[in-house]
Structure 1
Amino acid sequence: MPPLSSSSRFGALDGLRYGLLGLPLAFVALPLYVLLPNHYARAFGVPLATLGAVLLGARLLDAFIDPLLGRLSDRLHARSPRAVLGFGAVAAGVLLLGFGLLFFPQALVDPTHHGALLAATAVLLAVTYAGYSMLSIAHQSWGAMLGGDALQRGRIVGWREGMGLVGVVLASVIPTLAGLPAMVAVFGVALAIGWLLWTRAPRPVHGHTLHTVPLAVPHAALDLRLPLRRPAFRRLLAVFVLNGIASAVPATLVLFFVQDRLQAPASLQPAFLGLYFVMAAVSIPGWLRIVRRFGLARSWLGGMCMSVAVFAWAGAMGAGDAVPFLVVCALSGIAIGSDLVLPGALLAGLIAEAGDQPNAGAYFGWWNFATKLNLALAAGLALPLLGLAGYVPGARDAPALQALSLAYCLLPCVLKVAAGLALWALVIRPAASASPLPLSKAAP
C-alpha cells in the first residue's frame, strides 16, 4: 500500500485495513479483567485476594514500561514501515501465546499447586501485557503518522476504536455461548486477520517529511521525557486523565449499582453492557459529523456535557428502574463515543503541529500509561469511599444505597465537570488565541 499523503483521503477500505486490528486488541481486556479471576477461583480454587494482588502488580509493571515501548516503536518507525510490521508480528505472537496459556495454565504447571500456578500466572500476565502494549503502541503511532486534517484524524481513530468496540461485544458473548477454547481461537483468528490487513493499510510518509517544527533538543529522540516537555501535551494529558477517571468510576461500579440500587434481574445485566457498547460504536460516525462543524475539542466538550446530564438523571433512579436504566446505558454509550475517538484525534493533531511524528510512540507510551493509571485510580478512589460510607455488596439499607448512587452518579459528574472546565481553559482557549488553525477546529 502506498504512503498516505496529506492530500489523500482516508476511505472506508483504508479504515478497515488499518482499524480492524483494534478488534482483537480490545477483545483482550474483558476476559483478563472479568473472566480470568472467576475462572481461576472456580476452576483452580485460587483465593481472589491473592489473584487480585498478582493482577495489580502485573498491571503496574505494564503501565510503567509503556513509555519505554513507545521509544522502541519510534526507532522502528524511523527505520521503515516494514520494521514496524515485523515488530507487530512478534508482538502479536507473544500476545496470543500469553493469552492462551493464561486460560489454560495446565499446559505449563499443575494448577492444584497454587504457588507454582500463581508464579506462572504472574509471568504470563507480564508477557501478555507486554505483547499487548508493544502492538497497540505501534498501531496507534502508525495512525497518528498518517496525518490529515482534524476530520481525517478523527476518522482514523474512529475506525480503530469502532472495531475495538466490536471486539468488546464479541468478548462478552463468545465465552458464554461457546466456551473458553472458542474464545481463544476466535481471538487468534481475529489477531492474524487484523495484522494481515494492517500490512495492506495506508503507510505513513517515510522520512517524516511532514515536520513543521524542529526539535528543540538534539538528543530529544532518545529522551522519554520529550512529550512531557511540550506544554500542549501536558495540558491535553491533564484533561485526558481527569476525564478518564470520570469514565472509569461508573465502569467500576456499574454491576454494584445494577444489582443493589436497581435490583435488576440478572438476565438484564448483559443487556445493559451490550447496549452501552453497541451505542458507543454506532455513535462514532455521528461524532465525526459533529466534528466537521464544531471541531474536535468543542465536540469532545459536548460529549462531556451529555455524560453529566445522563448520570445526573441516573442518580434519581432506584429499585425497579431497570427499563429507564436501559435508556441511560444507551445515552451514556453515545456520550462515551466522543471519549473513544476525539482525544486520540486531538493527540494526533498535536503531534503533527509540533512536528513530532518520529516521536509519536513516546506520546502514545505516556498516553497508554495514563489510560491504565485511570483504571487503577478509579478503583482506588471509588471503592474505599464506598466502604467508608458503609456500603457493602448486597446492602439494602437506605444510607448504603444512597452512598452507592452518589459514588456511581455524582462523583463522575463532578469529575466530568472538572474535565470540561479544564478542556476549555487548557486546550480550547489557548489554541484559539495561539493559532488561526487551533486544535479545536477542523482544517478547511
Structure 2
Amino acid sequence: MQHSAVDVIRTKRDGHVLSDEQIDWVIDAYTHGVVADEQMSALAMAIFLNGMTPAETARWTRAMISSGERLSLDVSRPTVDKHSTGGVGDKITLPLAPLVAACGAAVPQLSGRGLGHTGGTLDKLESIPGWRAALSTSEILEQLSSVGAVICAATAGLAPADRKLYALRDVTSTVEAIPLIASSIMSKKIAEGASSLVLDVKVGSGAFMKSVDDARALATALVSIGVDHGVRISAMLTDMSVPLGRAVGNAVEVAESVDVLRGGGPSDVVELTVALAREMLSLAGISADPAAVLASGEAYETWARMIRAQGGDPEAPLPVGTHKHVVTAPASGVLSTLDAYAVGVAAWRLGAGRARKEDPVQAGAGILCLAKPGDTVVEGQPLLELHTDTPDAVVGALQALEGGYAIGDSAPERMPLVIDTIRG
C-alpha cells in the first residue's frame, strides 16, 4: 500500500489511530530521508497533542528498533540492564553495573551524555584518565564475558530512527510526549538485547517528570512496551527532589561512586544502588545479596577490571576544578530545602554540563553538597562547594542557586527514596 507523509500527519492530527502499516512506513521513510524533518515535526506535534494508544506506541517502538541492528548478547550469564530517566547527582549506574556483575549477571549498560541540568554517565566516566566510551560490538561482547559489565556509548547501528527523532523533538517542543519518551527509551534498550530491564523513573524538581502521577504514567507505558517485546521488566519510581548523594558533576561523582564501591559513600546512594540491584537480580533469576557483595569489596574489584578493560586507570588521580567557591549558611537552623533542579543548573553553568550536544564539558566542574535537608547548620557554615575551571561561571551558578536552598526550624518531610515499583 502506498502511503504519504501528509496522510499520516492528517490521521493523527484528526485524532485517529495510526495503522501498523502507516507507522512502519513513516519510521522507515524518515530514517532514509524520504520524510522530511518538517513533516516529522508536524507528526510529532500531532502525537504530542493527541497521544497514542498502547498498541500504537508498541508498534512505533518496534518500527524504531527495526530501523537498525539488534545486538545478540551471546554470553553465559543472564543479561540485565538498567535505565534512568535522568536526574541530579544520579551516578547510580557507576556502582550499580559492577555490583550486579559481581553478583553473577552480565550488565550491558549502553549510556549517553548529559544535556542541560541532568548529567551524563559517559561524561562522568571520561573524567577517568585513559577511559574510552566507544567500543565495537565484539569488544562489548568480550568485556561482558570477561568482566560481566560494560558501560559504553551505543553503537551507531542501534535504533537510528530514534537518534534522528530525538534531536528533532528537542527543537520542536515535543519532548514531553509520553508515547515518544517511552518509545525512545525502549527502542534503544530493547535493541541492546538484554533479557531483563529495570527502569529508574525519577520524579521531582530535578527530574523530567515533576509529579508522581506523570512518572507513574510514563513507567506504565515503558513496562507495557517491555512486556509486548518479551522483556522481563520493572519500573521503580524514585525521588529526585533533592540531589542524590553529595556530589554533582563529573569527576566528583566518580569519586563518590568509588567511595560507595569501597564500602562508604552517602546513605541515599547506597540505598538506591542496592534497591535497584535487588530488582535487577530478581528479574535475572539470581539469588545473591547485593548488600553483602557490596560490603565484601568484590564490586570494587569488578569496577577496576571494567575501567581497565576500557583503557582507564582506576587508581589515577581524578581532575579537580582549578577554582573553588564556597556558599555558606545565611542563618542558623535546619537545612529545609536543597532543590535538585537549582543545584543541577548551577553545576551545568559551572561547566559540568552542556547546552548543545556538541559542547565540551569540564571534568573537574561540579558541586559538593556539604549539607543535606534535615542537617542542623550554623550561620556561616559551608553548605555548597562550587568547582570550576572558569571563575567567571560562578556568578551564573550562584544565580541558579538563588531560592534553591533554605534554612528553617525543623527537618522537612520527605518522600521515600523508592516511591513505588511497577512490574510487568
Q: Same fold (TM over 0.5)?
A: no
- More strand, by proportion: 2
Larger RCO (CA within 8 A; separation ≥ 6): 1
Q: Which has the higher helix share?
A: 1
Q: TM-score band, normalised by the shorter chain?
A: under 0.3
